[in-house]
Amino acid sequence: MNTIVELHARRPARRTGKVVLVGAGAGDPDLLTLRAARLLARADVVVYDHLVGEGVLDLIAPAAERIYVGKHSGCHALSQDEINALLVRLAREGREVIRLKGGDPFVFGRGGEELQALAAQGIEFEAVPGITAACAVASYAGIPLTHRDHAQACVFVTGHLKDGSCHLDWPALARPRQTVVIYMGLAALAEICSQLIAHGLSAHTPAAVVQRGTTVEQQVVSATLADLEARVAAAGLRAPCLIVVGEVVRLREELDWFDAWRASALPETQAALEAAFSG
């Protein structure tokens, strides 16, 4: 059976290029999809973000042009409008453009906004999903997002809205028997914890913050809503982090396979492990 990538490769050359929106996953390069890896290996130009790991960048075709457009707190290489214009220009030059974004581009990745800009200009595009941070990071932290005894629902939210605020639907997030996963919420951690408690969750509700999840530098702080902020501050965690709130966090001590595996590795393999996860 022919793959989509193979079928696309047989198409006649286009006068106008194309943009493929590709999810790079949460950090560990082994979590990249096969389709994404194949596309990167034959890319003409790759426009990539701050959260794309070096191990994924190593899979890019050696001859491909690389353009960094990353954003992180207080520092934007290009504005969103400038990125949109760049993608349009590159496609109009007849180039095969890979727009590489961390996690999944359609989960708090502005992927929809970028494809809207391309559609408005008549540029051909497609999307390749990546494993979003909520799924990947929770798995590597030993926290199942759902469990028949603890959570029958899971909610993904962003802790940093477009206007920079953290005004969320707190009553909905404070409902029992669900897991809440908060992206980009570290700076608002104090408000998140206090609002969840104010809207009905027990101060003893378990919660965790995971820094650089799925990588060899992964660090997890588990606590309750009442003391999570203080413990995270004491640990010195820095973005990128993911916040998980709910009874499922209690299972981490039993299900923490990644830290146990990392600790059991022989000393002589530590360098190899770091190379595998960082590229």
Active site (catalytic) residues:
49, 71
Q: Are 24 and 97 in contact (CB under 8 A)?
A: no
Q: Identify the three-state secondary structure at position 46.
A: strand
Gap between the Cα atoms of 74 and 56, Å rounded:
25
Selection from 190, 58, 208 nearest residue 137 by Cα: 208
Q: Are 151 and 247 in contact (CB under 8 A)?
A: yes
With vertex at residue 118, the alpha carbon angle to CA 116 and CA 123, rounded to the nearest 5 degrees, is 140
Gap between the Cα atoms of 235 and 119, Å rounded:
45
Beta bridge partners of 5: none
